[in-house]
Amino acid sequence: MRIDVVSIFPSYFDGLTLSLLGKARDSGILNLNVRDLRDWTHDRHRTVDDTPYGGGAGMVMKSEPWGLALDELASGSERPTIIFPSPAGEVFTQAKARDLATREHLIFGCGRYEGIDERVFEYASSIGEVRLMSLGDYVLNGGEVATMAMIEAIGRLIPGVVGNPESLVEESHEDGLLEYPSYTKPSVWRERAVPDVLLSGNHGAIAAWRREQQIERTRVRRPDLLADDSA
Ligand code: SAM
């Protein structure tokens, strides 16, 4: 998979050279390029923002550098998926990560300030599939942290990135429920014992106990997941 990221703070993404995604990049499974939006500016100050038409607080990202960046990154790809992180977008979920992990080419455009000139989204729709995606109902300073979270969630679903694919199947949100509790050695720690069933060797009983735990944990912590199967 190819992923391009455009940001005015490319060094945010240095962490994506580490761990599983770093290995996926080294092995060629993931072709991830992070680009500086200012490389598509042509003035002495490498300006990417200006005051909003109609007034108001804050600055807005200018359309021109974004247009040039999208033109260059999308050329040669047949309608890439262009994701703009936004608190005003659809909420990113595990199901959406699964879908996006099947795409050939993703472009992430990281907003800053009050966001990006609206015409950029319209233009981007003419060259790719545009998705405005929110991490949740809160506001970040920029799209970088949201993009990193999405790339990590999507990237680990690309075949070959996580060594044991079974570990992906049993995780929270994969079957609409939260994951069951996990324990490792020692069997007793600070007077807290691991549940007996996990030491029983009875695989049927263990599977049944884990399922019960998933349902109970979801009911207590995230009842909305049991009520809503649209995600
Ligand atoms: N004025 C915008 C609004 O009210 O919708 C918020 C702009 S925010 C300060 C700057 C950038 O951070 C956004 O363009 C977006 O890229 C990113 N961002 C902020 N909150 C986000 C969230 N919850 N999910 C994804 N991206 C977010």
pLDDT at 230 over 60: no
Question: Which residues are CB-neighbours of 162 under 8 A, at least 6 positions away?
Answer: 20, 156, 168
Task: Give backbone dihedrals phi and psi of 25, rounded to 5 degrees, phi first.
Answer: -70, -45
CB 90 within 8 A of CB 149: no
Q: Write the residue with the smallest CA distance to atom 7 of ligand 1.
A: 114
Which tens digits make up the pLDDT trace of 112-138?
A: 999 999 999 999 999 999 999 999 999
The predicted structure's pLDDT at residue 61: 98
The predicted structure's pLDDT at residue 170: 78
Task: Give backbone dihedrals phi and psi of 89, rounded to 5 degrees, phi first.
Answer: -100, -175
pLDDT at 226 over 60: yes
Task: Give backbone dihedrals phi and psi of 57, rounded to 5 degrees, phi first.
Answer: -75, 155
124: closest CA among 79, 77, 178, 169? 79
The predicted structure's pLDDT at residue 228: 62
CA–centroid distance, 89 to ligand 1, in Å, is 9
CA angle, 190 then 194 then 200, to 5° = 150
Q: What ipTM does this complex have? A: 0.99
CATH for 169-225?
Answer: 1.10.1270.20
Report the C-alpha gap between 198 and 200 in whole angstroms: 6
pLDDT at 175 over 80: yes
For the chain, which residues make up each domain, given as ranges?
2-164, 169-225
Q: Which fold has domain 2-164?
A: Alpha/beta knot (3.40.1280)
Rounded average pLDDT over 152-174: 87
pLDDT at 67 over 90: yes
The predicted structure's pLDDT at residue 231: 47
Rounded average pLDDT over 37-47: 98
Closest atom, ligand 1, to C-alpha of 88: 5
Percent of the chain with pLDDT over 90: 91
CA–centroid distance, 142 to ligand 1, in Å, is 6
Q: Pocket around ligand 1: residues whose beta carbon is below 6 Å from it?
A: 85-88, 110-112, 114-115, 134-136, 138-143, 146
Percent of the chain with pLDDT over 70: 98
The amino acid at residue 69 is A
Report the C-alpha gap between 43 and 83 in whole angstroms: 27
CA–centroid distance, 212 to ligand 1, in Å, is 38
pTM above 0.90, yes or no: yes
Tokens of 217: 């944990």
The amino acid at residue 13 is F
What residue ranges in the chain does DSSP mark as E strands? 2-7, 31-36, 49-50, 60-61, 81-91, 105-109, 129-134, 188-189, 192-193
